[in-house]
Amino acid sequence: MRALAAVVAGLLAIDSGAAADPGRAIFEGQPGAAGAALIGSARVPIQKFACRNCHRRDGEGGGEGDAPPITWQALTQPTEERPAYDTRAFARALSTGKAPGGRDLSRLMPRYDLDEEVVAKLIAHLTRLPAEQRAGVLPDRIVLAVPVQAGDLRLAKALEAAIVARQPPNGTHGRRIVLQMLSGDMPEILTSVRSEATAVLSPVHGTAEFTAAGIPVLFPLAAISEADDPELVRSLYATREQLHAALAERARTDGCSLDDGATDCALIADGGGAVVGDWADTTRLYLTVESAHALGPAIVGIGGTLVIARHEAATLTRAAATEQEPLDVHAALVAEILLDALTVAGRDLTRTALMEAIGQVARPDLGLSFRPGAPSGSDAVAIYVVNPKEDR
Amino acid sequence: MIRPLTLILGLVLTLATLGLGAAANGLWRADPENFRAERILLPDATMLDKSGTPFRLRGDIGDDALVVINFSYTTCGSICPLGNQILQFVDERRDEIGREVHLLTITIDPANDTPEVMRASAEAFGASGNWHWLTAAPGVIAEILRAADASTADIESHDPVFLVGDMDTGRYFRSLSLPDADELIAMLDRFDA
């Protein structure tokens, strides 16, 4: 049973959340955002053309199309091309495409049909954005939050040791990484992180709650989804979709049928919620480590073989090769990628700039690199074959 | 002193001459705002459509058909979705045009944009059977971009180029900045005239 316990250890369930701030909803394109975008003579849901798509999540602009900065602090400063915006000029620009002074905005900028009240909420969000995006970014340090579960400091200490061992004496661009250990319930942790930390580092639980609050999550322990926003989540490991594909492929090469109604093999997807085949009577059960955890004690009663896929192959393979503790290897990989990313991001650091910089890190020596638009740095999956009865 | 009647007649004659000239040139009369008329000879390159089936860039488009071509890539989160949205509107209004119309979305990131990835994007925009989502080997994409004068070294900073034209004759209108669907339909109508 020890082998099985080791394979299924350290898991979490992922919940969902939603933002309730109308200004943020428009900026980020969240469901329920009020208003419409106008593309030529056609109206489309505003979520399709959220501000952050072009102006970035930090509102600082740049990138494709060279969109200008739209934080309220930037808009209310005059530039060589236009006078300063005020509320009325901003509303007019959104609805007509005319900047203050009469210049036409780029044709890449859609027009928007927004109520006056909604425009005010959007301005409020644009006003808060610079401080929110620079939470935890101080002149001499960057603060990352590490949630501590049930007083277990092993992960937090491993992360701290790995960062300290690799961090230049004067930090990166003059800033040293400081970890803030946080315990308590999720609302308390969210309140602290929202204003005091740039990102959450390697949480065991609650990735969705953090990202729903606009807080980036770096290198969570649980598998993420390919659909996760890489501006809010970066993982070192394979996604849930990749785990599922690897299990299906393994079943195929094992000669197992996973069609509905088959009794010889079964595939359980995330959390035990999606089952292909009748797993109770199966002789070979294919499942992710999170599914194994969700099944709990029932898994021991299975008479057949378990084929378990783990997403943390990048760490597990390295740990096996170097005879190190997986926790220490995870911490080392986190420190390497994080310090590379801070170098790339430069001195003018925002949450969004950090997340984008991680996307530019490529470390083939560590088996990690981030494809454009993908939140995960590795697609490697580790497969373990376990027989619970023989293992007892 | 020029007599007013002579002046007026002269103006009318000048306008008539210009009009005749435009008619003689057909669609090559004065360029519309936001578009420039060009001759482009695209290669008959073998590409892959969203189902992974070989697709000949020219050979699989009928001689009488018109095309609207856009270059994009699926991981582009800003300009490309806007371009695809505009193509979706055109796709829905293809029957307003008197000739067969095909829409071509050609990736400029073939390393990432596999047929499977292109299919997912096509489905997200509800693409009809006449909206082709095409990828190919990097060398083939580079050849097409060169022919279309849409080459780009950095896919992050590409221009949102739309080409509206007739592959058979090589006559196209190139967008100078992002057009809307009404403008693209109007350009297609010029060929119809």
CA distance A253 to A340: 39
Chain pair A-B, CB pairs under 8 angstroms = 64
Same domain, A124 and A48: yes
Same domain, A219 and A93: no
Please tell me the predicted confidence (pLDDT) of residue A12.
30
Half-sphere exposure of B30 (CA within 13 A, CB side): 5
Contact across the interface for B86 and A110, Cβ inside 8 Å: no
Contact across the interface for B181 and A371, Cβ inside 8 Å: no
Same domain, A27 and A126: yes
With residue B69 as reference, give the H or E element that holds it. strand B66-72
Give, as one character, the DSSP assignment of residue A311: S
Domain around A101: 22-130
Within 8 A of B86 by CB-CB distance, chain A residues are: 39-40
Same domain, A227 and A336: yes
Q: How far is B91 from chain A (nearest CA, A)?
A: 13
CA distance A112 to A91: 9
Contact across the interface for A65 and B180, Cβ inside 8 Å: no
Same domain, A267 and A286: yes
Among the partner-chain residues A41, A65, A374, the one whose CB lies closest to the CB of B78 is A65
Cβ proximity of A371 and A290 under 8 Å: no
Work out the burial of residue A391: count CB atoms within 10 Å of its CB; fewer than 13 is exposed, 13-18 middle, 19 or more buried. Answer: middle
Residue A353 zone, left/alpha/beta (φ > 0; ψ -120 to 50; rest): alpha
Q: How far is B177 from chain A (nearest CA, A)?
A: 7
Among the partner-chain residues B34, B82, B158, the one whose CB lies closest to the CB of A108 is B82
Q: How many CB atoms are closer than 10 A to CB A296?
A: 10
Contact across the interface for A49 and B157, Cβ inside 8 Å: no
Same domain, A185 and A323: yes
The answer to whether position A154 is within a domain reads yes
Same domain, A148 and A50: no
Angle (nearest 5°) at CA A301 between A296 and A305? 95
The answer to whether position A358 is within a domain reads yes
The answer to whether position A374 is within a domain reads no
Residue of A108, A109, A231, A379 to mutate when probing chain B, most B C-beta within 10 A: A108
CA distance B122 to B105: 9
Give, as one character, the DSSP assignment of residue A210: H
Within 8 A of B79 by CB-CB distance, chain A residues are: 54, 64-65, 108
Contact across the interface for A41 and B180, Cβ inside 8 Å: yes
CA distance B134 to B47: 6
Among the partner-chain residues A64, A110, A371, the one whose CB lies closest to the CB of B156 is A64
Same domain, A142 and A42: no
The answer to whether position A46 is within a domain reads yes
- Identity of residue B86: I
Contact across the interface for A373 and B181, Cβ inside 8 Å: no
Among the partner-chain residues A41, A44, A54, the one whose CB lies closest to the CB of B182 is A41
Please state the domain extents for chain B: 1-27, 31-192
Contact across the interface for B78 and A67, Cβ inside 8 Å: yes
Same domain, A92 and A197: no
Which of A152, A208, A192, A156 lies closest to A177, judged by CA? Answer: A156
Please tell me the predicted confidence (pLDDT) of residue A279.
66
Same domain, A147 and A201: yes
The answer to whether position A3 is within a domain reads no
Cβ proximity of A280 and A304 under 8 Å: no
Same domain, A235 and A263: no
Work out the burial of residue A266: count CB atoms within 10 Å of its CB; fewer than 13 is exposed, 13-18 middle, 19 or more buried. Answer: buried
Contact across the interface for A53 and B81, Cβ inside 8 Å: yes
Strand partners, A233: A217
Among the partner-chain residues B81, B109, B177, the one whose CB lies closest to the CB of A48 is B81
**Which residue does chain A place closest to B181, by CA atoms?**
A40
Give the number of domains in chain A.
3
- Among all chains, which residue has been given the structure tokens 């609302």? A187
Hey, is the C-beta of B33 within 8 angstroms of any chain A C-beta?
A: no
Give, as one character, the DSSP assignment of residue A82: S
Per residue in A227-275, pLDDT (tens digit) is: 899 999 999 999 999 998 999 899 889 888 766 555 677 777 654 455 6
Helical segments of chain B, H only: 4-25, 79-92, 115-124, 138-147, 181-192
CA distance B152 to B170: 22
Hey, is the C-beta of B90 within 8 angstroms of any chain A C-beta?
A: no
Among the partner-chain residues A41, A53, A107, the one whose CB lies closest to the CB of B77 is A53
pLDDT per residue rounded down to tens, chain A (392 residues)? 444 455 444 333 233 333 478 999 999 998 889 899 998 888 999 998 999 999 999 999 987 778 999 999 999 999 999 999 999 999 999 999 999 999 999 888 999 999 999 999 999 999 999 999 999 999 999 999 999 988 889 999 999 999 999 999 999 999 999 999 999 899 999 999 999 999 999 998 889 999 988 899 999 999 999 989 999 999 999 999 999 899 989 988 988 876 655 567 777 765 445 566 666 667 788 888 888 887 777 777 777 888 999 999 999 999 999 999 999 999 999 999 999 999 999 999 999 999 999 999 999 999 999 887 889 999 999 999 988 766 55
Q: Which of residues 218-247 of A touch B (CB under 8 A)?
A: none
Number of alpha helices (DSSP H) and beta strands (DSSP E) in chain B:
5, 8
Cβ proximity of B34 and B180 under 8 Å: no
Among the partner-chain residues A48, A63, A108, the one whose CB lies closest to the CB of B178 is A108
Which of A240, A256, A268, A195 lies closest to A375, judged by CA? Answer: A240
Cβ proximity of A71 and A130 under 8 Å: yes
- Among all chains, which residue has been given the structure tokens 């299924």? A8
Strand partners, B67: B102, B165
Q: Which of residues 166-185 of B touch A (CB under 8 A)?
A: 177-183
Domain end position, chosen among A92, A107, A130: A130
Residue of B85, B91, B182 to mutate when probing chain A, most A C-beta within 10 A: B85
With residue A292 as reference, give the H or E element that holds it. helix A289-295
The answer to whether position A194 is within a domain reads yes
Q: What pTM did the predictor assign?
A: 0.80
Contact across the interface for B112 and A372, Cβ inside 8 Å: yes
**Which residue does chain A place closest to B76, by CA atoms?**
A373
Please tell me the predicted confidence (pLDDT) of residue B51.
96
Same domain, A27 and A110: yes
Among the partner-chain residues B81, B157, B182, the one whose CB lies closest to the CB of A40 is B182
Work out the burial of residue A363: count CB atoms within 10 Å of its CB; fewer than 13 is exposed, 13-18 middle, 19 or more buried. Answer: middle
Please tell me the predicted confidence (pLDDT) of residue A298.
72
CA distance B102 to B48: 16
Q: How far is B77 from chain A (nearest CA, A)?
A: 6
Within 8 A of B34 by CB-CB distance, chain A residues are: 107
Please tell me the predicted confidence (pLDDT) of residue A329.
96
Give phi and psi for A382, each to the nearest 5: -100, 130
Which of A110, A96, A103 lies closest to A54, judged by CA? Answer: A110
Within 8 A of A108 by CB-CB distance, chain B residues are: 78-79, 82, 160, 177-178
Cβ proximity of A215 and A200 under 8 Å: yes
**Which residue does chain B place closest to A54, by CA atoms?**
B78
CA distance B32 to A342: 48
CA distance B167 to B62: 9
Within 8 A of B89 by CB-CB distance, chain A residues are: 39-40, 42
Which of A371, A390, A356 lies closest to A56, judged by CA? Answer: A356
pLDDT per residue rounded down to tens, chain B (193 residues)? 444 434 333 333 333 333 333 333 444 555 678 899 999 999 999 999 999 999 999 999 988 899 999 999 998 888 888 899 999 999 999 999 989 999 999 999 999 999 999 999 999 999 999 999 999 999 999 999 999 988 665 555 656 789 999 999 999 999 988 899 999 999 999 986 5
**Which residue does chain A place closest to B34, by CA atoms?**
A107
Which of A248, A198, A266 lies closest to A381, judged by CA? Answer: A248
CA distance A157 to A112: 49
CATH-assigned architecture of domain B31-192: 3-Layer(aba) Sandwich (3.40)
